[in-house]
Amino acid sequence: MLELEKVTRLFGGLTALNNVNLIVPANKIVGLIGPNGAGKTTLINNISGLDHPTSGQIRLNGAEIQNAPPHRITRAGIARTYQNIRLFSDMTVLENLLIGQHGRGQATFLDSLVFTPRFRAEERDLHERAAQLLERFNLTHAANLRAGNLPYGDQRRLEMARALATNPKLVLLDEPTAGMNPIETQQLGEQIIRLQEDGLTALVIEHDMSLIHQVCDEVYVLNFGQILAHGTPDEIKRDPVVIEAYLGKDEDHGAA
């Protein structure tokens, strides 16, 4: 579904991404792990259009998207969440979900001005879909609260609900469980598995290896902007190259 071919991103002299080749097959959950500063978020920013690669190609179902603006990419079916929560915090939970559906809407401001049937039907449709998402993520009670006032775990879930509101085929989750306790992490894992059951595809950045085990079909390891390893979660866990990247070299083999 998503293919990255030789994606390179330079920031001045710094190579944030170096010839990254990565494939996310349809209806699979792919994990992306790596130490801090490895370029994971840069990768997601490049896929979602907030940043563009210096060279290389990103293809969604065969169509090149590496130079498309973010709203086009969203409308083409890629949604994302953020490592640091970026909700519209002054708005209500419901409004956040309505904005998430922006790309699906057709009604213009003029429709709203004179209450055309299209406007009314669409607003009803948007509210219904928002209500479904609220229920799915256990947020119905909070629909009219200010998003910024929600407890942390609820904000994380709302962000995921808002990503789903864009009606995506592929969801990019940037550390969805950061700051969550083990029980919340487990529950969020179930939500991710549910995405797969609904026919969606996901690329998950994560540090929590138990979550990777719980949800991922395959895993890519990124270090210093390069793909270090690729395999099933079990293979990755045993891979000596990955262990070295995370824990450093064994003293006996260490070159001084």
Partner 1 sequence: MDFFRSIGITEIVFQFMLVNSILGLSIYLTLYTGMFSLANAGFMAIGAYTGVILTQNFDLPLGVALIGGMILGGIIAIPIGFPVLRLKDIYLAIATIGFGEVVRILILNFDTLAESITGQEVKLTRGALGITGIPKITETWQLIVFLVVVAYFMIRLHRSRFGRAMAAIRQDEQAAANMGINVVYVKNTVFIMSAVLAAAAGVLKAHLTRTISPGDFGFDQAVSILAFAVLGGTSTWIGPIIGGFVLTALPEILRDFKQYRGIVNGSILLLVIVYLPGGLVNPAGWSRLWKRLRQSPEAGENHART
Binding site for partner 1 (CB under 8 A): 48-50, 69-71, 74-75, 79-80, 82, 86-91, 95, 98-100, 102-105, 107-109, 111-113, 119, 122, 162, 166
How many alpha carbons lie under 13 Å from residue 44 in its C-beta half-sphere?
23
Write down the least CB distance from residue 210 to partner 1, Å. Answer: 28
Smallest gap, in angstroms, from Cβ of residue 50 to partner 1?
5
Which residue, 156 or 162, has its beta carbon nearer to partner 1? 162
Which phi and psi angles does 176 have, rounded to 5°?
A: -65, -20
Dist CA 133 CA 80 (whole Å): 16
| Residue 19 to residue 11: CA distance in whole angstroms | 14
Give the list of residues 6+ apart from residue 118 with CB closer than 8 angstroms, or none: 106, 107, 111
Nearer to partner 1, 25 or 69 (CB): 69
Give me the least distance between CB of 79 and partner 1, in Å please.
7
Give the β-pairing of 218-223 and 55-60: unpaired
DSSP 162-184: HHHHT--SEEEEESTTTT--HHH
100 or 225: CB nearest partner 1: 100
Q: What is the DSSP letter of 68?
A: S
CA atoms within 13 A on the CB side of 82: 10
- Edge to edge, the sheet with strand 14-24 lists 14-24, 2-11, 55-60, 63-64
Q: How far is the CB of 232 from partner 1 (least distance, A)?
A: 30
Place of tokens 């995370």: 246
We find the least distance from the C-beta atom of residue 114 to partner 1, in angstroms, to be 8
181: exposed, middle or buried (Cβ count in 10 Å: 0-12, 13-18, 19+): exposed
Q: List the structure tokens of 76.
A: 């083409």
Nearer to partner 1, 113 or 247 (CB): 113
Least spacing, CB of residue 60 vs partner 1, in Å: 15
H or E segment and range at residue 208: none
Question: Is the Cβ of residue 105 or residue 233 nearer to partner 1 in the bound state?
Answer: 105
Give the shortest CB-239-to-partner 1 separation in angstroms.
Answer: 33
Q: Which is nearer to partner 1, 63 or 113 (CB)?
A: 113
User: Which C-beta is closer to partner 1: that of 104 or that of 230?
Assistant: 104
